[in-house]
Amino acid sequence: MRILFDNQIFSHQSYGGVIKYFEELLSNLRKRNNLTVKIPKIYLRNEASFYMKNKKNNTFLIFYANKIINKIKREIKFILDKTSNASQLKKQEFDIFHPTYYDPYFLPYLKDKPFVLTIYDMIQERFPEYFGQKNQTGMQKALLAEKASKIIAISQNTKKDIVNILGVKPEKIEVIYLATTPEKNMEPVPVPNFYILFVGGRGRYKNFSTMAKAFSNLSQNYPDLFLVCTGHDFSEEENNMLADLGISSKSISITANPQQLAFLYFNAKVFVFPSKYEGFGLPILEAFSYNCPVILSRASCFPEIAGEAALYFETENSLSLEKTIEILLNDKEMRKQLIQKGLERLKFFSWNTTTNKTLSLYQRCLIAN
């Protein structure tokens, strides 16, 4: 079997959950016999190699300081990569195609070859108010969902949304979970000893304001408690909110590489994921793998992924979150139980299983075609 991927997502991003998914899938597929796995030679790695080279010396700050320049470079890179992708597609030297994102540029080149589409979430469709009137990604996703031979959804919750919102028949969709690969080494980060961890984006549907309000109340009873956030620096709006809540001096923003993030998970008192919606929620598995107790909003796919290995709060209720965090700050036995349940829950997710199920789906597409 000859499988062709494109490099859409690698042109747009240097890291993130979707990047991890395709890197693991590509790596595992290439280990299998009787498979030819292709991706156009340009395959980003200009910026991705920047990421890999610099993750050890924490020069992510340079990346963010030059984000406008890098955005322009990405746009140019995407145009070049799209040309390379089209060239590979025209050769027709593949049996099945798997695009890495939603640009439908490839449709004219497929001829009668099948393609599999991975839909990571339905955030644009569930929260259109955050994405403006012209939601290009949502329109592209709908078109490709209609044209695809099969669709991979990364959770049952995402599958349900695809069916309900896009009108796709359930039998066209295969749920294939993601997994995580823990870092072998941790890199210490100079942070306080007593902190709550928040990982990833904080805008729009991420519900960071609920986290901030809950922490503001907690900090009055726990003066040594800090809030550590990974990702970009606090925006002006976020700084104003933190100041209004009186927690600016106790809120820290850190740009962490994977080894540093492992350290932050391992040493956090609790990891809180308050998002209103996620397609899967890789940070949940990351926290489990580093023995970090987890608190989640009772929303989207979270109960499906974490099961009984996490505590839950009512999504936009800061008092509910505050009380749930306080339980884990004081109940050592509960912390131990959740950590053990998290390790057990991890056994349900592996990249080997992800690869096997994906390969099986490819084979069924070829038979049907």
How much is the pLDDT for 53? 37
- For the chain, report the end-to-end CA distance as a whole number of angstroms: 14
pLDDT tier for residue 54 given thresholds of 50, 70 and 90: very low
- Residues 6 or more apart in contact with residue 179 via CB below 8 angstroms: 24, 285, 349, 350, 351, 353, 354
How much is the pLDDT for 136? 84
pLDDT (mean) for 285-306: 97
With 70 as the cut, is the pLDDT of residue 48 above it?
no
Q: Please report, for residues 45, 206, 272, 351, the alpha-carbon distance to residue 49 in angstroms, rounded to integers and kept in the order given.
A: 5, 29, 31, 23
How much is the pLDDT for 80? 61
With 50 as the cut, is the pLDDT of residue 345 above it?
yes
pLDDT tier for residue 62 given thresholds of 50, 70 and 90: very low
Read off the pLDDT of residues 70-121 as tens digits, 9 standing for 90 and up. Answer: 555 556 555 666 777 888 899 999 999 999 999 999 999 999 999 999 999 9
With 70 as the cut, is the pLDDT of residue 61 above it?
no
